């Protein structure tokens, strides 16, 4: 058979493949140029977008219904989306604020303004950590990384929106001096806010690198921190701060730390990677290298970025 016939047969065979089978075919063929590889990876990501968005719609409805149990985790995930998400910043901001009030409104009569305060504090802390991660981590990665997806002007608007949310919180009767007169209540509040924010941001660090460039070591490093190192650190903080001697804290925060690190990371990863499949996070344009003209580079070995 001629080379042209073999090429046509290979093209026909490739056209019949989809999804994982097509990915394996390209991995075995090994004859793609970098531009062709980029285009194919992009096509595979587009192929996954529809099912991922449908799954996310169902998942977010279930999380909103769960209320108190998953509320801070959902807000922390939305904070990651707010920082490195794709699309309009204003849409991301509106969806995040709306989700906070949808979570807090049904529980307001039972939990009072404290739950709304917890969600707003989680939004502020987790978005600050995500912002720092998006600025710092790419400096240590040798692969294309997502960057912060809002401008300084939008950051100032975000600050004003948070200030307005705090004003609403004060308007519904929340007062720090009244709500946190008990030291253990304040410790529980700030413990949940800080721990949820830090753990969700650590779990989301692999998302800073698009899947087509990401290595497995980045996920393993993130999982090691979230599943093993962070619960140990949290329990040590409770013990050495003296809070663990309180019956209320040891009864609530101790089991919450252990059980939370067994199940919550899996939920966070499922939602985050499904959001990535739905193309909810910004894309990355990798660096391109062009050959210099022979006249300016007689040896023909230099490249420019």
Q: Is 60 exceeded by the pLDDT of residue 108? A: yes
Stretch 223-235: mean pLDDT: 87
Q: Is 90 exceeded by the pLDDT of residue 67? A: no
Stretch 137-152: mean pLDDT: 81
Q: What is the pLDDT of residue 224?
A: 92
Q: What percent of the chain has pLDDT over 90?
A: 11
Contact (CB, 8 A) for 72 and 122: yes
Q: Is 60 exceeded by the pLDDT of residue 53? A: yes
Each residue of 179-196: pLDDT tens digit? 666 666 677 788 888 889
The total of other beta-carbon atoms located within 10 Å of residue 298's CB is 10
- pLDDT band per the 50, 70, 90 thresholds, residue 304: very low
- pLDDT band per the 50, 70, 90 thresholds, residue 295: low
Q: What is the pLDDT of residue 146?
A: 86
Q: What is the pLDDT of residue 258?
A: 74
Q: What is the pLDDT of residue 179?
A: 60
Stretch 256-281: mean pLDDT: 83
Write the DSSP string, the chain: --HHHHHHHHHHHHHT--HHHHHHHHHHH----HHHHHHHHHHHHHHHHHHHHHHHHHHHHHHHHHTTTTHHHHHHHHHHHHHHBSS-HHHHHHHHHHHHHHHHGGGHHHHTHHHHHHHHHHHHHHHHHHHHHHHHGGGG-SS------S-HHHHHHHHHHHHHHHHHHHHTT--HHHHT-SHHHHHHHHHHHHHHHHHHHHHHGGGGS-TTT--HHHHHHHHHIIIIIHHHHHHHHHHHTTGGGSHHHHHHHHHHHHHHHHHHHHHHHHHHHHHHHTT-B--------EEPPTTT-TTS--EE-
- pLDDT band per the 50, 70, 90 thresholds, residue 3: very low
Q: What is the pLDDT of residue 8?
A: 46
Q: Is 50 exceeded by the pLDDT of residue 265? A: yes
94-108, 172-186, 241-255: which range is least confident on average? 241-255
Q: What is the pLDDT of residue 7?
A: 46
Q: Is 80 exceeded by the pLDDT of residue 275? A: yes
- pLDDT band per the 50, 70, 90 thresholds, residue 33: low
pLDDT, the chain, mean: 75
- pLDDT band per the 50, 70, 90 thresholds, residue 212: confident
Q: Is 80 exceeded by the pLDDT of residue 202? A: yes
Q: Is 60 exceeded by the pLDDT of residue 248? A: no
Interacting residues of 256 by C-beta distance below 8 A, sequence separation 6+: 192
Stretch 123-132: mean pLDDT: 92
């Amino acid at each position: 058979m001629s080379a042209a016939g073999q090429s046509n047969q290979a093209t026909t065979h490739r056209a019949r493949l989809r999804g994982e089978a097509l990915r394996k075919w390209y991995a075995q063929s090994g004859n793609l140029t970098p531009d062709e590889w980029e285009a194919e990876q992009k096509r595979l990501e587009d192929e996954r977008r529809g099912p991922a968005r449908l799954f996310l719609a169902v998942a977010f409805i279930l999380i909103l219904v769960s209320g108190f149990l998953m509320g801070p985790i959902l807000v922390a995930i939305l904070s990651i989306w707010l920082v490195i998400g794709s699309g309009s910043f204003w849409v991301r901001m509106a969806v995040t604020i709306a989700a906070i009030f949808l979570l807090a409104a049904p529980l307001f009569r039972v939990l009072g303004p404290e739950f709304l305060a917890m969600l707003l504090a989680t939004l502020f802390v987790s978005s600050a950590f995500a912002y720092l991660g998006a600025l710092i981590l790419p400096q240590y990665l040798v692969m294309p990384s997502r960057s912060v997806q809002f401008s300084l002007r939008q950051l100032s608007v975000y600050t004003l929106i948070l200030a307005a949310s705090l004003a609403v919180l004060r308007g519904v009767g929340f007062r720090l001096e009244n709500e946190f007169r008990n030291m253990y209540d304040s410790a529980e509040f700030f413990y949940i806010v800080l721990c949820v924010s830090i753990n969700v941001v650590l779990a989301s660090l692999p998302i800073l690198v698009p899947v087509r460039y990401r290595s497995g070591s980045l996920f393993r490093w993130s999982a090691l921190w979230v599943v093993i190192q962070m619960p140990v650190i949290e329990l040590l903080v409770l013990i050495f701060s003296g809070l663990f001697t309180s019956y209320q804290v040891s009864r609530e925060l101790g089991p919450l730390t252990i059980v939370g690190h067994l199940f919550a990371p899996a939920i966070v990863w499922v939602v985050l990677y499904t959001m990535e499949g739905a193309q909810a996070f910004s894309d990355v344009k990798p660096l391109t290298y062009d050959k210099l003209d022979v006249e300016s580079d007689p040896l023909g070995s230099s490249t420019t970025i």
